Structure 1
Amino acid sequence: MNTAAPVLTPTTRALAWCLHLLVLGLLALAAGRAVADGRPHTAQVVAAAAACGLVYAAGPLLPHTRRSRPAAAWWLAATGAVWLVLLALTPDAVWVAFPLYFLQLHLLPRRTGLAAVIATAVAAVTAFAAHTGSFSPAMAIGPALGAAVAVAVVWGYQALYRESEQRRRLIEELTATRADLARAQHTAGVLAERERLAHEIHDTLAQGLSSIQLLLRAAERALPDRPDTAARHVDAARQAAVDNLAEARRFVAALTPPALEGTTLADAVERLCTTTSARHRLAARFHLTGEPMPLPTAHEVALLRVAQSALANTVRHAEATSAEVTLSYLGDHIALGVVDDGHGFDPGQLPAPDPESGGFGLASMRARMNALGGTLVIESTPGHGTALAVRLPLTPPPKTEPEARP
């Protein structure tokens, strides 16, 4: 038997309070009708109703009743005993049987709860027949139908709860598995990139430098007696240096983001917005202001990386539906702004970057801007979206002084 109680949610708490109010209201109704109608044993009815209400109210207040099924069973037994006394005094107590069904099914094991519901229904029908002095099948319809409804509702809720818990566990396992897979893919990617770079450096720069070193040593040995041979070695070393420099430039060019190859920064950011909108549920719109101008590669790479990181954060964390990306050429500086309509966050409450959980995005963007003398500002409030703005200073090209007229 599983004795774990379901976790209370705001909805289940509200339902529990409704059930408590229903029980107390029905007890008050039985006592009130006894007083209003002037029935025999009015004082006893009021006393029994009050006692039943007190015993019932003690259950939710006692911690053992909520944590232990045996304690809950004893509480239900005490409540049922007082209710039977009230039921013997007035037929109006029959209505209290309906909320008792829910309590018995919810707090007792399945078989015990079902037996308690049947016993409660039989007691209600028997007492009502005794009060009226006759019995007919119609008298049993109400309590029996109420019991059937209670069984269907409680057992249906329990089945839904078990299914919900199973799905929650599956989702947690899937999330953990996806996180493990993402970490494994990231590690594999880092190792593959390191291996690629190692091969590139070994096959280009290292080999070229080694060749230059050998040629210069050969020239050094030939210098005193064979100047022509030494000159040839020096010339060969110079050519090797030229070739190695070309390889180094090719190597550096290979590290440039592919999105910037053969295009402008504005076109690259616009394509980024289009790709993000196509791949995710985010309408990313691009706006260009000012006259585009050639920028240093470092500036273009930094701005593109910031735009990529900002949109990635919007997609992953903000749950936004739209984002506005603005690239502005403003003469002596260039600005990039990313504004979304997501749920926002408190910039002052961000956790510190951690190798396990991540959180390096904003730190990386700030580092890129600081390295180029720029600034990064983030404005966000929980529930009101996020605005990110970066500014990079540009060194304007030297202006040609007009020639003096004669």
Structure 2
Amino acid sequence: MNQRPPADSRSWPPTLHRWYALVWVFLGLAPSVIGGLNDPAPQRYIALALLVVIGLGYATVRCLPGNPVVRPTPYLWVLAAAVGAMAWLPGGGAALFIVSLPQFWILAASPRAATVLSGAAAAGTFAGSTEWQAESGEFVTGNGVFTVIGYAAGILIGTLVHRSMEESEARALRLSTELERTQSQLAEAHRRQGAVEERERLAREIHDTLAQGFASIIVLAEAARSTLDTEPDRTARQLLSIEQTARENFAEARVLVGSAPQSGLTPGSVAATLRRTLDRFAEDTGLTVLAELPEVLCDQQTRIALLRCTQESLANVRKHAGASTVSVFLDRHADRVELEITDDGRGFVVEESHGFGLDGMRKRVAELGGELTVTSSPGDGTRVLAALPTNGQE
């Protein structure tokens, strides 16, 4: 049978401490003290001394359970000897043994140790009770029988309780192992989910910045090549736009790899930044751009989201809409900022569109607690409305 480490009495329920201490004092120690008061002087003093010793021993083990000097096993040997010795005295008997039995099973290091220690106490009690009554010619006494029955019952109950505790501890260990395994699997799932989310974030950033910039460079380069001989001034402007776009892509690339702060926007400059983006778009495409961009204050993440939504919408207009006019309106409400981008292009069926750009805009806005609404139908142009909370910023 597995050895159980010595019990730490601090782990016992406080109520159990109090009730058992009361039972042991009033049904064990007190009757022995009262019974020994009428004994002759030597026996009376010996009995009182034994009771004081085991009472102090129990109090010490009870009050100092974590002290490495205080070991339950020596106290249990003292208890067994004292209980057996009390049975040899006129005021002693089996009652003290029976009331003291739980201590052997609570404090002993193992069921075997509890059996041996309580057995020593039982043997001393049985022998003392029998010897005392033998003077009257009674070798089998009620105290002796009571002691044997109590010892047998103590072994039976103690073994059952210990086995039940072992099964409970085994179940607890299995549950703890399963919990640790589940926590490990959950942590691994969180790590994988975090990696997936980070890849999606990087893909969205690359699509909204580098990919759009490279697309602009390609379109501008093709236009510049076609006008190289016939319209040198226009070609020069297109080459300048290519250079500016390349520089912006380089700055965005540094942000993505972490070698530059994620900025691109200075505090409070969202309107100016959007206006520069619209001016570049109008210059590169030749489309008419109408804009109402009042200065609004919002946090950095909101400014970046507004810029990315504008860039993606303009890229879609350039690639798919076939529009002649684009309108951009920025508005601040009490609890949100709204960005509306409309075009008079060919439109599309929103439900049938599953492009990465629209999904990326929706996710970006949703991450900030906002909402992106796309309204369009074939032949009626497109309207993109991004509404983001301002978090109480004024």
Q: TM-score, normalised by structure 2?
A: 0.53
Within a 5 Å distance, the mapping from 1:166-315 to structure 2 comes to 166-199=170-203, 206-223=210-227, 225-227=229-231, 238=285, 241=315, 242-243=317-318, 248-249=357-358, 251-255=360-364, 257=366, 297-299=387-389
Verify the 8 A CA contact 2:43 2:89 in the aligned structure 1. Answer: yes
- Aligned pair 1:128/2:124, yes or no? no
Verify the 8 A CA contact 1:104 1:116 in the aligned structure 2. Answer: yes
1:60 corresponds to? 58
CA deviations on 1:354-394 (whole Å, 9 max, x unpaired) are xxxxxxxxxxxxxxxxx5216xxxxxxxxxxxxxxxxxx9x
1:96 corresponds to? 96
Counterpart Cα distance in 2 of 1:213 and 1:61:
87
Residue 77 to residue 66, structure 1, CA distance change in 2 (3 Å) = farther
Verify the 8 A CA contact 2:36 2:44 in the aligned structure 1. Answer: yes
Counterpart Cα distance in 2 of 1:79 and 1:156:
23
The structure 2 residue matched to 1:47, chosen from 45, 48, 57, is: 45
User: Partner letter of residue 128 of structure 2?
Assistant: A
2:391 corresponds to? 372
- Report the Cα offset of residue 249 of structure 1: 4.8
- Report the Cα offset of residue 32 of structure 1: 1.7
Residue 33 to residue 202, structure 1, CA distance change in 2 (3 Å) = closer
- Report the Cα offset of residue 184 of structure 1: 1.8
Verify the 8 A CA contact 1:24 1:53 in the aligned structure 2. Answer: no
Counterpart Cα distance in 2 of 1:70 and 1:200:
66
- Aligned pair 1:32/2:34, yes or no? yes
User: Partner letter of residue 391 of structure 2?
Assistant: L
Residue 222 to residue 116, structure 1, CA distance change in 2 (3 Å) = closer
- Report the Cα offset of residue 51 of structure 1: 0.8
- Report the Cα offset of residue 56 of structure 1: 0.6
Alignment: residue pair count = 268
- Report the Cα offset of residue 95 of structure 1: 1.0
1:110 corresponds to? 111
- Report the Cα offset of residue 55 of structure 1: 1.2
2:87 corresponds to? 87
Residue 67 to residue 111, structure 1, CA distance change in 2 (3 Å) = farther
Counterpart Cα distance in 2 of 1:373 and 1:66:
55
CA deviations on 1:73-106 (whole Å, 9 max, x unpaired) are 4433334434444322225432111133333344
Q: Percent identity?
A: 13
- Aligned pair 1:165/2:169, yes or no? yes
Which ranges of structure 2 fall in alignment gaps of 5 or more residues? Answer: 239-281, 288-313, 322-354, 374-384
Q: CA RMSD in A?
A: 4.5
- Report the Cα offset of residue 191 of structure 1: 2.0
1:4 corresponds to? 5
The structure 1 residue matched to 2:153, chosen from 149, 152, 155, is: 149
Question: Secondary structure at 1:298's aligned position in 2?
Answer: strand
Counterpart Cα distance in 1 of 2:228 and 2:161:
99
User: Partner letter of residue 209 of structure 1?
Assistant: G
Verify the 8 A CA contact 1:90 1:131 in the aligned structure 2. Answer: yes
Verify the 8 A CA contact 2:87 2:93 in the aligned structure 1. Answer: yes
Verify the 8 A CA contact 1:31 1:45 in the aligned structure 2. Answer: no
Larger Rg: 2
Higher relative contact order (CA 8 A, sep 6+): 2
Counterpart Cα distance in 2 of 1:85 and 1:218:
111
Residue 136 to residue 236, structure 1, CA distance change in 2 (3 Å) = same
Counterpart Cα distance in 1 of 2:83 and 2:231:
121
User: Partner letter of residue 160 of structure 2?
Assistant: G
Question: Secondary structure at 2:388's aligned position in 1?
Answer: helix
Counterpart Cα distance in 1 of 2:43 and 2:23:
18
User: Partner letter of residue 388 of structure 2?
Assistant: A
